[in-house]
Amino acid sequence: MEDTGIVKQLNGGMAVVTIKKHTGCDSCKGSSVCNLSGGNEADIEAVNQVDAEPGDRVRIRFAASMYLKGALFIYGLPALMLVIGAVAGKELLPSFFGSIDPELLSSISGFALFIVSFIIVKFLLGRSSSAAQSVPVVYEIVERAADKK
């Protein structure tokens, strides 16, 4: 995600950038880095890599790898657990439950691990929502405040 905004203030190596809110802002998982006001603007704290000053119009972005890792984690882990559960249910569980059909055991164990994986994903996403990799970065100054005068 990329956006353009105005630097409001500096906090050490960070810049508070005011951007216009988008339709997806309210449901965004990265909203922990934004200060969502009731209006149509949001303040985002971003790493100031380009030494922007208050009043500068800048471009900010989230790391693309964050979205890829999130997608792999959210979709890949449950799919993997479903396959592992199904294979384990068919190959290992019949020796413990000999009277139950191996296909039924495969289905039950596959879906059980599938559900457990969603619980794991929910737990881990809650713990890592404020990870450093999710902090946006100011990567370009579009217009200096001094140039506006």
Domain boundaries, the chain: 2-63+133-148, 65-127
Calpha distance 110→86 (Å, rounded) = 4
Please write the tens of the pLDDT for every residue from 94-147. Answer: 888 888 899 999 999 999 999 999 998 888 776 655 444 567 889 999 989 876
**What one-character DSSP code corresponds to residue 44?**
E
Q: Please tell me the pTM assigned to this model.
A: 0.51
User: For the chain, how many helices (H) and strands (E)?
Assistant: 3, 6
Residue 94: enclosing H or E segment and its boundaries?
none
Among the listed residues 96, 2, 84, the one whose alpha carbon sits nearest the alpha carbon of residue 46: 2
DSSP letter for 99, please. T
What six digits make up the tokens of 56? 């500068």
- DSSP, residue by residue, 49-77: TT---TT-EEEEE--HHHHHHHHIIIIIH
pLDDT digits (tens, 9 = 90+) for 25-38: 555 555 555 555 55
> What value does the mean pLDDT take over residues 68-95?
89
Question: Domain 2-63+133-148 - what CATH class?
Answer: mainly beta
Q: How many CA atoms lie within 13 A of 49 on its CB side?
A: 10
Neighbours of 98 (CB within 10 A): 8
SS3 29: helix
